[in-house]
Structure 1
């Protein structure tokens, strides 16, 4: 087989690698080093992320398959492991690489929050929550525990559920707040449907937590619901 563009013999190596593949990888690396991530299309950045995990594979068709299946770069990173396993060519190691990038994004945002007062850094709070939860395929209930200066003490996922329900136990939430010596909480959960409109159950549960927390000197700053490219605040909606 001969590469028509370069007229270089493209003999496949182990796993399907060719001289053409090596040249493509080198050109992509040089473009990234020279011009940064904005010079790469979404599929090219996914290719780049897979280079080390799949050293002897052409990662372009895998990257394009990821975008076709999940619809966007961020959705590909956030996709559940079992769905990533359905993409031909992805190995356990390459899936680990994608999930590590997604985890790194969330950890970056979380580490930024730990240096700040959360109520004075609301856009960063939302960025972190969206990076962590926006594309989850099951509901997840998260709590941000705050100190007297509204600094972040801890960030914990309390419960995970199904595609449309998460069991929440108000007294367990308050018990954890007392263990952390937290004086305020931000409650968060996601709606995998993409619609962040609060349900009656969401509102009732939040009011129950407030009723238990208030006599103990614990304030519920807000309950945020994360949807697809949208989020709502129960406090802004004047529901609490």
Structure 2
């Protein structure tokens, strides 16, 4: 059943591309005629690096909106959220607030985001994590950087440091999450993990470890040590970067 919101969304795009009644019989083509094929051809010939963020968004919106000019919606999304990564990471309800972006378009964008996360996760699955560190960081950033609440995520590793499981242990508030050392130990033993990588996000955008982050990490390290389970690192993810506690010599 079609919702009023989806109907409004279609009307927005159709109206933006529909000639005025007095000109309906005219042979004049809309200004964006041929634009889609030209943009697709540029992508095919030169690749994504030659396109601006709004043009890549246009390409995505072509699939959601069969006709009409999608450039205004693409630029509105970037104006609202700031970057292509932040558009894909934005919550569904906030995407729907952008002019011309109804639920169906927003869902398509979230599907693209989910597919990107899955692809990045597959890059580290079955590989030695410590030698694929950039892929680990890329995956954590895609999965957590734009979440509105703090997530505490654990990557469980086997004796070869390959990924066994990737689990979110807890979701907290906008500025606080809890980690439970006994639960981490119990789960690591159940998976026969010999090491873990801890990760959580700071919705504020600043990945600088807090005193609470440092103390929590030291508690987890001490809890896992008697079982011979190493904590390789605790990564804190922000919108614009990350912090490694191991790199900062905090563990």
Same topology, TM > 0.5: yes
Which residue number corresponds to residue 146 of structure 1? 157
Residue 59 of structure 1: aligned partner: 70
SS of the residue aligned with 2:166?
A: strand
Aligned to 1:207: 218
Map of 1:178 onto structure 2: 189
Q: Select which of 164, 167, 176 maps to 2:175.
A: 164
Match of 1:6 in 2: none
Equivalenced residues, count: 229
Q: CA deviation at 1:180?
A: 1.3
CA distance in 2: counterparts of 1:13 and 1:126, whole angstroms: 38
The corresponding residue for 1:27 is: 38
Q: Which residue number corresponds to residue 133 of structure 2? A: 122
Q: Is the contact made by 2:156 and 2:164 (CA closer than 8 Å) also made in structure 1?
A: yes
TM-superposed CA distance for 1:13, in Å, is 9.4
Deviation at 1:230, TM superposition (A): 2.2
Which range is displaced more, 192-201 or 16-25?
16-25
Q: CA deviation at 1:43?
A: 0.7
Which segments of 5 or more consecutive residues in structure 2 lack a partner in the other structure?
A: 1-11, 19-28
Supply the distance in 2 between the matched residues of 1:207 and 1:39 (Cα, whole angstroms): 46
> Could you say what secondary structure the match of 1:138 adopts?
coil
TM-score (norm 1): 0.89
Contact 1:16–1:56, Cα closer than 8 Å, also in 2: no
Alignment root-mean-square deviation, CA? 1.9
- The answer on whether the counterparts of 1:185 and 1:219 sit within 8 Å (CA) in structure 2 is yes
Q: Tell me the secondary structure at the aligned position of residue 177 of structure 2.
A: coil
TM-score where L is the length of structure 2: 0.85
| Residue aligning to 1:133 | 144
Distance between the aligned counterparts of 1:42 and 1:230, measured in 2? Answer: 19
User: Are the equivalent residues in 1 in contact too, given 2:13–2:100 (CA < 8 A)?
Assistant: no
Within the candidate set 50, 68, 88, 2:61 is matched to 50
Q: What is the correspondence of 1:188-203 to structure 2 with a 5 Å cutoff?
A: 188-203=199-214
